[in-house]
Amino acid sequence: MARRDAKFAPLLDQFVCVRLVECYGLDRSLFQFDSSLTMVSFFMNADGQVYGRYGSRAGRDDAELVSAEGLRAAMQGALALHRLWEQDRKAVEAKLVGKTAKESPWSRYEDIPLMKGRVMPAIRDKHKCYHCHWVQGGEILSRRREGRDIPDQWLWMYPLPDLLGVRLDPRTRSTVASVERGSAADKAGLQKGDEILEMEGQPILSLADVQWVLHRAEDGRQLPILVRRSDGKQTLQLELPQGWRRRGDISWRPIEWMLRGEVLGFHMKRMNDREKRRHHVNVDGPVYWIERVAPAWNKNANHAARKAGLKKGDILIAIDDRPPPATMSLFLAWIAQETKPGQKIRITVLRQGRRREFTYALK
């Protein structure tokens, strides 16, 4: 369709376009991206150096943060960067070093322990395909089963700059649309209308490039940001507070299915105050409605919850005599970071107004 668009065609003619639809053998030290996306574009040269990425997502709406205008702007930026690379390769390559990094111990999708055997059905005579949306969960659950810590970066991956108080216009490469008063971005001096040219010394072609830098940045440090304003260029310092990622929402990511169904054994959603009143739940703090218990046919699920007696419609009010986490995102983080395979937990629920307790082992 883009080929038939008069605004895209002249740009596409300057690229060699390759569409990847299967990921067998893909080099993950080069092709690193947010596996929760429905589409991602890489801009790179023939030497395998990444100029930038395009593709972002904030929730279940996969089109909110992408636009034809934004993609065209990123493509134009990539072409301009390539022309600079042809003129001075050494200088440009020095800025591109941070565009890739070895983040995972598993260099290919098929090497991730939990991904083995998990493929999408074959289409006609083609190979079966690894489902990209399962990659984050596959890595986290594999690491969890090995008894290794799971850092926040693995859960709150590719965070949006909104968490730091700055929103970018998705119709542009990286122009600031708004800055929240009193936020980290505001304290750094970012202003509406600023065009972000570089972060951490890396050229910025899109919101996805900003997310890439934030994804890899450590808490408690300052990120240098080069911006262009009407009065020229200026370098700002953006401070990353401790725990800033945890303000984000990860409940829309596919990993929530794996953590809830395969580890916990049931799926739930938080009840709001109105729902609590309607169901006569007189409990302070967060409570969760159990929407479904993992069915017997799901071979990857934790069936211990169902066998212990938990049922759809139960209202979860405590775990080991403590209130459950305050948000769905923190609940998922608790499962991933604070529990171990085989650990026994005691779930307290309300069923038809009566308290019931169930003890079983997590998977």
pLDDT digits (tens, 9 = 90+) for 290-315: 999 999 998 889 999 999 999 999 99
Report DSSP state, residue 217: P
Q: Do domains 161-246 and 254-361 have the same CATH topology?
A: yes
| pLDDT above 70 (res 129) | no
Q: What average pLDDT does this structure show over 330-347?
A: 97
- Model pLDDT, residue 61: 84
Pair 31, 48: CB distance under 8 Å: no
Helices (H), the chain: 9-12, 68-87, 89-96, 135-145, 152-155, 184-188, 207-216, 255-257, 273-278, 304-308, 328-338
If you average pLDDT over each of 33-37, 135-139, 167-171, which comes out highest? 167-171
Q: What average pLDDT does this structure show over 326-343?
A: 96
Please give the full DSSP string across 20-70, using - where no structure is assigned. Answer: ----TT--TTTS---TT-S--EEEE-TT--EEEEE---SSS-TTTT--HHH
Q: What is the pLDDT of residues 238-281, one digit of tens each?
A: 999 999 999 999 999 999 999 999 999 999 999 999 999 999 99
| pLDDT above 60 (res 125) | no
- Model pLDDT, residue 119: 65
Q: What average pLDDT does this structure show over 147-165?
A: 96
| DSSP bridge partners of 360 | 345
pLDDT-derived band at 9, boundaries 50, 70, 90: confident
pLDDT-derived band at 28, boundaries 50, 70, 90: confident
| pLDDT above 80 (res 83) | yes
> With 0-12 CB in 10 A as exposed, 13-18 as middle and 19+ as buried, what is 271?
buried
| pLDDT above 70 (res 121) | no
Pair 51, 45: CB distance under 8 Å: yes
Homologous superfamily of the 254-361 domain (CATH): PDZ domain (2.30.42.10)
- Model pLDDT, residue 74: 97
pLDDT-derived band at 30, boundaries 50, 70, 90: confident
pTM: predicted TM-score of the whole model, two decimal places: 0.93
Mean of per-residue pLDDT scores for the chain: 92
| pLDDT above 60 (res 285) | yes
Q: What is the pLDDT of residues 190-227, one digit of tens each?
A: 999 999 999 999 999 999 999 999 999 999 999 999 99
Nearest-angstrom CA–CA distance, 84 and 95: 12
Domain boundaries, the chain: 14-151, 161-246, 254-361
- Model pLDDT, residue 120: 61
More confident residue, 145 or 102: 145
Structure tokens that stand for 157 in this block: 């991956």
Homologous superfamily of the 161-246 domain (CATH): PDZ domain (2.30.42.10)
Nearest-angstrom CA–CA distance, 269 and 255: 15
Q: Which of 45-49, 67-71, 113-117, 337-341 shows the lowest mean pLDDT across its residues?
A: 113-117
Q: What value, to the nearest 5°, has the Cα angle with vertex 68 and ends 62 and 74?
A: 100
pLDDT-derived band at 26, boundaries 50, 70, 90: confident
- Model pLDDT, residue 128: 62
- Model pLDDT, residue 5: 73
- Model pLDDT, residue 2: 60
